[in-house]
């Protein structure tokens, strides 16, 4: 007798038993009802921190219960995230007994050592929601987390961005002992890559994620294309002549006192 119709948002991952809020719509008026007590004890065994809301026939009257039902942060609670990862590693890959989920979710971790531009990063994170695609959802980014450094500060920042709520959290990391490198991608642990971001989404490609990340860093200036003689204006040729008219002449040229003459007798007013 535990059901949640269109009453509330039940924060639950299938097969994990990780429930944030449970609304009881039957036997709620009898708090000592055997069925209610038994069900509460079973749920408490899976998650001691779960919140129970008693709403007989779906009627919710307490403000505190409404806030729990409409909470957008319960699922991102650090304790809940820790429990999900430690108790059921692989939940984000859709490894449920009922079979894999659709669309398939992937996780890509990118390590890097350059600081990011805070304004660029925040802008691109906020823009992700407007870029979400409908089915088959390919390329959609739903969550970003990790540790980075921005160019305007020396502090390491812990990042957590949720696309659906469009919420971005940037919290300075407290200084403390550095844990052993736990990278699982097989790369050289002796490299100088200090920061990382983990992207969760549908059918993500690592190269696309890296391109997205490159746009959040300070852009290197593009090298100007070299000019050919045919591209120079007459004024530019005059300016070069003024600066370089005393340079040694190339082979086949000589100066007759007024003009520069080449091997074929062609005369020029400017240094060749």
Give the model confidence (pLDDT) of 149-187 as tens digits. 999 888 999 999 999 889 999 999 876 655 554 444 444
How confident is residue 15, by pLDDT bands cut at 50, 70 and 90? Answer: very low
Q: Which of 24-28, 180-184, 228-232 has the lowest mean pLDDT?
A: 180-184
Residue 179, both tokens: 């844990």
Q: 77 and 172 in one domain?
A: no
The confidence band for 82, taking pLDDT boundaries of 50, 70 and 90, is confident
**What was the pLDDT predicted at 99?**
60
250 and 162 share a domain? no
110, 205: one domain: yes
Does the N-terminal peptide bond of residue 103 adopt cis geometry, omega within 30 degrees of 0?
Answer: yes
Choosing from 87, 122, 137, the residue where a domain stops is 87
Query: Do 110 and 209 lie in a common domain?
Result: yes
| 185-193 long-range contacts, CB within 8 A, separation 24+ | 185/109, 185/111, 187/111, 191/111, 192/113, 193/111, 193/112, 193/113
pLDDT number for residue 3? 39
Highest mean pLDDT among 21-25, 107-111, 183-187, 226-230: 107-111
pLDDT of residue 141 exceeding 90, the answer is yes
233 and 176 in a single domain? The answer is: no
- Residue 190 neighbours by CB distance under 10 Å: 7
Q: Which two tokens stand for residue 233?
A: 């204006």
Of 31-40, 113-122, 176-185, 190-199, highest mean pLDDT: 113-122
Q: Is 203 part of any domain?
A: yes
pLDDT for the residue numbered 156? 92
Q: Residue 95 falls within a domain, yes or no? A: no
What is the predicted pLDDT for the residue at 148?
A: 94
Residue 201's H or E segment, with its range, is strand 195-202
Between CA 160 and CA 49 the distance in angstroms is 23
**165 and 242 together in one domain:** no
Give the chain's mean pLDDT: 80
- 137-155 average pLDDT score: 92
Please check whether residues 196 and 122 belong to one and the same domain.
Answer: yes
Is it the case that residue 95 has pLDDT exceeding 70? no
- The distance in angstroms from the start CA to the end CA of the chain is 95
Higher pLDDT, 91 or 160: 160
Q: Confidence class of residue 76 from pLDDT cuts 50, 70 and 90? A: confident
- pLDDT category, 124, cuts 50, 70, 90? very high
Decide if 40 is inside a domain: yes
In percent, how much of the chain has pLDDT > 90?
28
Can you give the residue range of the structural domain that contains 128? 105-214
CB 62 within 8 A of CB 33: no
Q: Of the candidates 199, 194, 153, which has an alpha carbon nearest to the alpha carbon of residue 172? A: 153
70 with 146, same domain: the answer is no
Query: Total domain count for the chain?
Result: 3
The average pLDDT across 207-232 equals 88
């Amino acid at each position: 007798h535990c059901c949640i119709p269109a009453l509330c948002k039940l924060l639950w991952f299938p097969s994990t038993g990780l429930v944030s809020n449970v609304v009881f719509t039957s036997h709620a008026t009898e708090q000592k009802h055997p069925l209610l007590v038994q069900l509460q004890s079973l749920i408490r065994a899976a998650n001691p921190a779960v919140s129970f809301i008693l709403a007989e026939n779906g009627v919710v009257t307490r403000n505190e219960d409404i806030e729990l039902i409409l909470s957008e942060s319960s699922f991102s609670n650090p304790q809940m995230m820790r429990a999900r990862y430690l108790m059921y590693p692989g939940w984000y890959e859709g490894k449920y007994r009922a079979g894999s989920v659709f669309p398939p979710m992937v996780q890509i971790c990118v390590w890097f050592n350059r600081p990011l531009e805070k304004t660029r990063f925040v802008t691109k994170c906020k823009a992700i929601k407007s870029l979400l695609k409908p089915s088959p959802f390919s390329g959609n980014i739903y969550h970003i987390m990790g540790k980075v450094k921005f160019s305007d500060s020396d502090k390491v920042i812990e990042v957590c961005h949720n696309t659906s709520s469009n919420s971005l959290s940037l919290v300075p990391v407290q200084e403390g002992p550095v844990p052993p490198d736990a990278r699982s991608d097989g790369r050289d642990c002796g490299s100088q890559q200090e920061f990382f971001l983990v992207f969760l989404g549908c059918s993500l490609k690592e190269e696309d994620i890296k391109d997205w990340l490159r746009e959040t860093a300070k852009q290197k200036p593009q090298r100007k294309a070299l000019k050919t003689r045919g591209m120079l204006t007459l004024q530019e040729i005059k300016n070069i002549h003024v600066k370089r008219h005393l340079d040694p002449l190339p082979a086949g040229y000589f100066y007759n006192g007024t003009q520069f003459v080449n091997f074929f007798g062609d005369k020029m007013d400017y240094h060749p």
